[in-house]
Structure 1
């Protein structure tokens, strides 16, 4: 996309085609579990709005930060019987990219924040906040690292 404050700015989007939430079998209005048993609730997440900020774009090790906004649709009401199947999804992460060669990077995200809630589109708005660590491999369709 371009540069801002000496950082490369890229468009970022994500699709999670299989999203499985584990929630209590029975819960109250606010989403508090009323059963020790868990049940899976499948869904799909699409995050079409996002930006990645990349420092030192020509070096092998590049710090980055990324933020994305989108939604999750479950096949039934999630978190509470008074909630919604439609929820917002917000993600923020920071980490390092290590350039293996022109096409591949190894990605380490020691910090990832993940939020899901319906934003009070229903009577009840229980949600989920998660912190995670992610490790991955990135493939570039066009080479970005110069020899």
Structure 2
């Protein structure tokens, strides 16, 4: 178990730090998020990336933005990074350029508000990134 401090941005623009607990083992990932009202949200999945996405989607639905590298529009995960790092590392990619090991970041690393987007914006960016390699 690892405890990590992350920041979120509330719908009114207030930035708040919170602690999450991350549990990772082969074939499973769990993130626990204590809420201000004392309840505990649990996001369990096949790996940390999938658990992160579940947490991100729920927060996004409530108007809260995760200020984490995994929520950046230009973040993507590869199968190799997923299997070797349990979904904990993602690439920050640039159109027309292949992902490099130097581009790997921890999905819980801080990201500035202007860098993060919605899950849909991330999907769209990654789709466009893939298209940027086409030569037709």
- Greater relative contact order (CA < 8 Å, ≥ 6 in sequence): 2
Greater CA radius of gyration, 1 or 2? 1
More helix by share: 2
Q: TM-score, normalised by structure 2?
A: 0.26
Q: TM-score, normalised by structure 1?
A: 0.24
